[in-house]
Structure 1
Amino acid sequence: MRNRAAARSLVLGALTALAVTTPVSGASAEGRALAGSYCTNPDAMPKPTACIQLSFEGQTAQGYTNSSDRTIDLRPGVYWLTVDDTSTAHNFSLEAPDGSDQDITEVADAPGDVTLMVNLTPGSWTLFCDPHRAMGMYVDIEVGGTGQTG
């Protein structure tokens, strides 16, 4: 438990994440809006609700068993990530390119909308449900190219 708390502190610094209490939408000088949620897909195992998705400006990636559409491409920069967690069976976690991860929500919480600011640096990031990641409940975020403009 102590190691997890120490790791969480390190990840918070590495991700430069700041929790806020209200959802943010649209783009601004301070960042762009990403939306994470649970989804339903008939191909998800062990049941259709074992699905996670991430959306940004018309792109949507879904992570479920054997998903062929689980990757979203983003430019480096600051994003406001809002996750809609209404489940006591799932959670949202974010893994950085260096392998460190941060729990955005906990499994038993179901807090509803949670928004945090994330500075996405170049590399491969992953948004996932910790207890169901092995079943395919994750979305890959590929960050590359030049940074945000506007």
Structure 2
Amino acid sequence: MSGTPPVPCLYTARAGLDIIKKIGIPGIRDKSLSLTELIIKKAKERGYRLFTPEENNLRGGSVSISLPHAFPVKQSLEKRNVKVDYRKGQDKEPDVIRVGPHFYTKDEEIDILFREIDAIYASGEFKKFPEEIKHVT
């Protein structure tokens, strides 16, 4: 490696490490499990199909949910400043949105996500957006 070390970046990284040290890896994992459980519960209440293990020991930090018109719904959520990821289904698998909460995400923000999804379907807003993705997300 050569060149000038990225000193400002190292200061920023240190602040992030201090936060992780304060909360602790087990605390972050516990919060992740709590948030992903809430997402799974709310998705199942609405009858959405999950592509994420429900068992805590098998689940990572994100939840993949099959939604009708997943890509237009994702675009509608972006317009509402709600950030989720999108994945095109392979072969005959459906498209999904992926919700990846962080340790600073609040339960209320998960409530907002599902309230916004409900509103998008109720209003038909998703119909304003193309069904097919034309770029990498």
Tell me the TM-score normalized by structure 1.
0.28
Rg: which structure is higher?
Answer: 2
Q: Using CA pairs below 8 Å that are at least 6 residues apart, which structure has the higher relative contact order?
A: 1
Tell me the TM-score normalized by structure 2.
0.29
